Structure 1
Amino acid sequence: MSTLGEVASHIRSKNAGPFWLTIDVFLPDAASFEKVCAQLSTDEVARRLGAAPASVRRFEIADLAVIKFSLPRPAVQGSVADRDMHGASFALLIGDIELEAG
């Protein structure tokens, strides 16, 4: 078993406007990209981020070996309830998702 954070070259999250977040999972090569696409559940990502699965959009960009998730922010950027103005901490929440070897 390995984790998403161990397989990915980089995982980052950031604002996609004041109402949305985006999380990018960069994979080192096409083989890793295919493996992670097959194993990484959008429902598990949503659960880790505290989002409704139906609200999470997933984009698989094979030419770049990137999986992108976009979802509504839990609080509007800059509001009193916003605890991460830049959206940078959300990537940490999915890095320990376990993937099967092989």
Structure 2
Amino acid sequence: MPTIREIAPICKSKNAGPFQVTIDVVFKDAAMYRRVRDTGVLCADLFGKLYGVPAEDVLFTAYDAGLAFKATLPRLVPAGDIGDTDVYGSQQHAPVLDVVIPL
């Protein structure tokens, strides 16, 4: 079974303000996007588990027109605060790369 890193050409993260981070997973092929979407693996519950936040705090959307998934979730440490290791939020997508998709 493939991982996100093997099937999605774009998986990135960035700040959505100082208290949230957003993660995008984008596909170039509509058929592959639909196959991934239909598995239901990418969802608020998964992002909550990966990032240690309640699923109800995750805003998760599948954008069919953009062949993309977007998850916005609270940062555990505000951007730039003591203990923050990624002030821009640009490395927060790493846990998603190893998510296995049962295709």
Q: TM-score, normalised by structure 1?
A: 0.91
Same amino acid, percent of matched pairs: 31
Q: Which of structure 1's runs of 4+ aligned residues deviate more than 3 A?
A: none
- The answer for the alignment partner of 2:60 in structure 1 is 58
How many residues are paired up? 101
Q: TM-score, normalised by structure 2?
A: 0.90
Supply the RMSD in Å over aligned alpha carbons. Answer: 1.1
Unaligned runs of 5+ in 2: none
SS of 1:63 mapped into structure 2: coil
Q: What does residue range 83-94 of structure 1 map to in structure 2 within 5 Å?
A: 83-94=85-96
As a proportion of its length, which structure holds more strand?
A: 1
Give the drift of 1:4: 1.2
Unaligned runs of 5+ in 1: none
Is the 1:23–1:69 contact (alpha carbons within 8 Å) kept by the matching residues of 2?
yes
Q: String of CA shifts for 1:21-73, please: whole Å, max 9, x gaps.
A: 00000112111111111222421222112221111111111111010000011
Q: Partners of 1:15 and 1:70 in 2: how far apart?
A: 9
